[in-house]
Amino acid sequence: MTSASTNTPSFVTATLPPTVAPLPTSTLLPPSPVPTNIPIQGTTTTQVNVRVQTNTASESLSIIPAFSQVQIIGKESTGNWLQVIHENKVGWVRAEFVQVELSDKIAVVEIESGRGSGRSGVVISGINVRNGAGTEYESIGVLTQKDVVLITGKDASGAWMQIRFLNEVGWVATEFLQIENVVEIPVVNALPTQSVVVSETPLALAPIAVLDNDSMMMPFFIVDFAKAENFQITGTVSSLPGDFEDWLGMASYAPEILIESTCSNTILQMEIWEAGVVREQFLSPCGGQVVLKFSENQSYTVRIFQPAEIKEMFTSYTLSIRVVD
């Protein structure tokens, strides 16, 4: 997962004409599939997946490129996910990857239409979703940090929460959810559990970087020194099944480029590609400086990656890139 910042795009708020109210009718009409909230305009800070539900386990409907304008029609009650319209489809994106000037104007909407207001829970650590209220039950999926789920009940002990997961019923350990007013959640019938209470433990996996589907041919961002002399790129990579590599395009109009890097660990590697071939490789560039000598008016690609064989590792990084005086 990647994000870049330079020459922050200006924001233009879309102002739509007022909706004309329909004439009264004695016949009840079915709910309209078209959102009625006036869209608020935002701008993505990286490539983001538009998902069916407010969790990374749900299907991806499409991908919005970095620095793209997006129409926001709602947010779930915790504010971690935004409901958007993209390619004539309604879906959800992580709020942290969208810049919005009028965030206080975004209406709160249900995370599952037709299921009432419900109560939302925010996942605070990677955790299994099980088909019963106990660790002895089968895992039917995994939730990651900042996923938001609809809570439909709890077991008699309060140690497990019943949730909606991919349109089915699942159970997760309460201690790994952030929930308001837990005492108000109704007790529901759970599958029989053993008399000995077994505590769930968080998955041993490190955080997972969100897949952004960039590649050598489609880098997530282009550093163009014809437009500016200084750039700062931030991003994350992680072990599989997360995003283990990022691709950065670079158009050089200067003979020397300086890259300074800071990382959360020392395993990050970097490669400079020219015409589909690795030109230079840096095994541990973090915490140091790299001076690249480029041919003017030549395009290059930078691959920032974590070796695929390394397991359960997550790396955040920042690259400061500038022309050498």
Per-residue pLDDT tens digits for 238-288: 877 778 899 998 876 677 888 898 888 888 888 988 888 888 888 877 888
Locate CATH 2.30.30.40 in the chain: 37-109, 111-204
Locate CATH 2.60.120.380 in the chain: 221-323
**Per-residue confidence at 314, pLDDT binned at 50, 70, 90?**
confident
- For the domain spanning 37-109, the CATH number is 2.30.30.40
Asked whether residue 45 carries a pLDDT value surpassing 70, the answer given is yes
Q: In this structure, are strands 221-224 and 127-130 parallel, antiparallel, or unpaired?
A: unpaired
Provide mean pLDDT across the span 194-219. Answer: 65
Lowest average pLDDT, out of 72-81, 127-136, 262-271, goes to 262-271
As a whole number of angstroms, the distance between CA 287 and CA 102 comes to: 37
As a whole number of angstroms, the distance between CA 222 and CA 163 comes to: 41
Asked whether residue 15 carries a pLDDT value surpassing 80, the answer given is no
Asked whether residue 128 carries a pLDDT value surpassing 80, the answer given is yes
Provide mean pLDDT across the span 149-156. Answer: 93
Provide mean pLDDT across the span 51-55. Answer: 94
As a whole number of angstroms, the distance between CA 154 and CA 171 comes to: 9
**Per-residue confidence at 155, pLDDT binned at 50, 70, 90?**
very high
As a whole number of angstroms, the distance between CA 238 and CA 247 comes to: 14
Residue type, 153: G
Lowest average pLDDT, out of 199-213, 285-299, 306-320, goes to 199-213
With a CB cutoff of 8 Å and minimum separation 6, the contacts of 197 are 157, 159
pLDDT at site 193 = 43
**Per-residue confidence at 111, pLDDT binned at 50, 70, 90?**
confident
131 conformational bin, left if phi > 0, alpha if psi -120 to 50, beta if neither? alpha
Q: What percentage of the chain has pLDDT greater than the value 90?
A: 32
- For the domain spanning 221-323, the CATH number is 2.60.120.380
Asked whether residue 10 carries a pLDDT value surpassing 60, the answer given is no
- 204 versus 165: the higher-pLDDT residue is 165
> If you average pLDDT over every residue of the chain, what do you get?
80
pLDDT at site 194 = 43
Asked whether residue 84 carries a pLDDT value surpassing 80, the answer given is yes
Instruction: Tell me the chain's radius of gyration from C-alpha atoms.
Output: 23
With a CB cutoff of 8 Å and minimum separation 6, the contacts of 104 are none
- For the domain spanning 111-204, the CATH number is 2.30.30.40
